[in-house]
C-alpha cells in the first residue's frame, strides 16, 4: 500500500513539509488545478510539479484529477478536440513518471454538499448532505456547496446545462462515457498509466441530472465498456458508502478479483436518512462503514497501489479548505496505517 496525501499546490495552507512529517506517508496526490478542463497540460508544468514533490522527499503517486470537459460528457461535436488534448496530457504525464490518473464523469459539478461546516457533538465541523435541501433554486442561488475548484458559477450557464443534461438522460451519458474510454484507455495502456474513475458523490441523481457511476452494477458495466487492464476504478468508501444499498465489501472484492482497483479513497460517513449523511471522520465506531473490514480485504488482495485518507473534519481550530485540513486527515492516515498493520499481521 502506498499511503498518500492530497495536496492542492503552492497555495495550499497544508504544505509538503507538513505532509512529509506524517508517519507512513510516501506519496502525494495532486493536480494542476489552475488549468481548465479540456486543455492539454504543458510539459514544463508537469515536470515542475513532479520536481517540487520529489524535492520534498515524496513521490507523485496520483494525478487527481485530469478533468473531463463537459463537451465530452454531453457528446458535442467538439469532443474529439478535447479528447485529443486528454490523450496528449496522458502521454506527457507518463513521460514525467506519473502512473495513475484519477478522473470522474459527473455531469456539471463534482461532489456536492449542503453544508461545509456541519457541527458534530464534539465541536468539530464536517461536510454534510441533506437531500431535502437540494433543489434547482438552491443550486442556482449558490446555497449548495460545491468544491472550491468548480468553475460553473454563472447562473444562466448552469441553467442551460441543467436543461441539456436532463434532456440527454443516463443512457446517452453512458454512450458518451464509452466513447471517451474507447479513445483514451488504449493511450493509457500504451504509455503505462492506470486510469481510475471516481464514483459519483453522492451516488444518485441530483436535481434531475443523471449520475451513472453509483453502484456495483455500474462499476461492472464500466469495465465492460473497455475491457482493458488500464480501465479501472478509484474505490471511494465514502462516496459509495453514502448509499446503504451499496455492499462495500462485495464491490471491493469484485474489483479486486478483476484487478481493477487502481486507487483507494478511505473515509467514513454516517448515514442519517435514505439520502442524507455527514462525514464522520475515519473511525469505524463513528460512521456507518466498517473500515477495518475494507482494510482486511485490501490486505487479502495484497493491494500495493496508492491509498489516501479522504475528506476529514476541521478540528483544533484549524482554518482552511473544509474537508482538507491537515489535522484530521493526518489522524485518519495514522488510523488507517494501524488497521493495515493489524490486517497484515493477522494474515
Catalytic residue positions, numbered: 198, 236, 265, 310-311, 324
Distance CA 248, CA 192 (A): 28
Distance CA 167, CA 62 (A): 35
Tell me the three cell numbers of residue 299: 490486505
Pairing of the two strands 269-273 and 276-279? antiparallel
Question: If you write DSSP's letter for every residue of 258-309 in order, what string do you get?
Answer: TT-EEEEEE--EEEEETTEEEE--S-GGGSSS-HHHHHHHHHHTT--SEEEE
Residue 227 three-state SS = coil
Distance CA 204, CA 208 (A): 10
- Decide if 3 contacts 26 (C-beta within 8 A): yes
CA distances from 221 to 165, 170, 227 (A): 21, 13, 10
- Decide if 282 contacts 291 (C-beta within 8 A): yes
Q: How far from chain centre, in Å, is Cα 277?
A: 18
Distance CA 173, CA 72 (A): 9
Which letter, b or e, does each residue of 35-52 get, where b requires 16 or more Cβ atoms within 10 Å of its Cβ? Answer: eebbbbbeeeebeebbeb
Distance between first and last Cα of the chain: 15
What are 31-35's contacts with CB under 8 Å, separation 24+? 31/63, 31/64, 31/65, 31/66, 33/8, 33/9, 33/149, 34/9
Distance CA 106, CA 68 (A): 9
Amino acid at each position: 500500500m502506498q499511503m498518500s496525501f492530497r495536496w492542492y499546490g503552492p497555495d495550499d495552507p497544508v504544505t509538503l513539509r507538513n505532509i512529509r512529517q506524517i508517519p507512513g506517508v510516501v506519496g502525494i496526490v495532486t493536480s494542476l488545478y489552475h488549468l481548465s478542463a479540456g486543455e492539454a497540460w504543458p510539459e514544463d508544468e508537469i515536470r515542475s510539479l513532479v520536481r517540487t514533490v520529489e524535492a520534498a522527499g515524496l513521490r507523485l503517486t496520483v494525478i487527481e484529477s485530469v478533468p473531463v470537459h463537459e463537451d465530452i460528457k454531453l457528446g458535442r461535436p467538439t469532443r474529439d478536440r478535447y479528447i485529443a488534448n486528454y490523450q496528449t496530457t496522458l502521454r506527457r504525464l507518463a513521460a514525467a513518471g506519473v502512473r495513475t490518473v484519477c478522473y470522474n464523469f459527473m455531469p456539471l459539478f463534482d461532489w456536492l454538499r449542503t453544508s461545509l461546516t456541519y457541527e458534530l457533538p464534539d465541536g468539530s465541523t464536517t461536510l454534510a448532505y441533506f437531500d431535502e435541501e437540494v433543489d434547482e433554486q438552491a443550486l442556482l442561488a449558490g446555497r449548495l456547496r460545491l468544491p472550491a475548484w468548480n468553475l460553473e458559477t454563472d447562473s444562466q450557464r448552469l441553467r442551460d446545462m441543467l436543461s441539456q443534461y436532463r434532456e440527454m438522460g443516463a443512457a446517452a451519458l453512458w454512450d458518451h462515457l464509452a466513447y471517451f474510454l474507447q479513445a483514451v484507455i488504449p493511450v493509457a495502456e500504451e504509455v503505462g498509466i492506470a486510469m481510475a474513475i471516481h464514483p459519483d458523490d453522492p451516488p444518485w441523481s441530483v436535481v434531475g441530472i443523471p449520475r451513472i457511476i453509483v453502484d456495483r452494477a455500474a462499476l461492472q458495466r464500466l469495465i465492460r465498456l473497455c475491457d482493458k487492464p488500464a480501465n479501472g476504478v478509484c474505490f471511494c468508501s465514502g462516496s459509495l458508502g453514502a448509499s446503504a444499498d451499496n455492499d462495500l465489501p462485495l464491490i471491493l472484492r469484485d474489483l479486486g478479483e478483476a484487478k481493477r482497483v487502481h486507487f483507494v479513497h478511505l473515509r467514513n460517513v454516517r448515514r442519517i436518512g435514505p439520502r442524507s449523511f455527514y462525514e464522520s471522520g475515519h473511525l469505524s465506531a463513528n460512521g456507518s462503514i466498517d473500515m477495518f473490514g475494507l482494510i482486511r480485504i485490501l490486505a487479502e488482495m495484497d493491494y500495493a497501489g496508492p491509498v489516501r485518507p479522504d475528506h476529514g473534519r476541521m478540528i483544533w481550530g484549524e482554518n482552511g479548505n473544509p474537508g482538507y485540513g491537515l489535522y484530521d486527515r493526518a489522524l485518519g492516515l495514522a488510523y488507517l496505517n494501524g488497521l493495515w498493520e493489524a490486517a497484515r499481521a493477522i494474515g
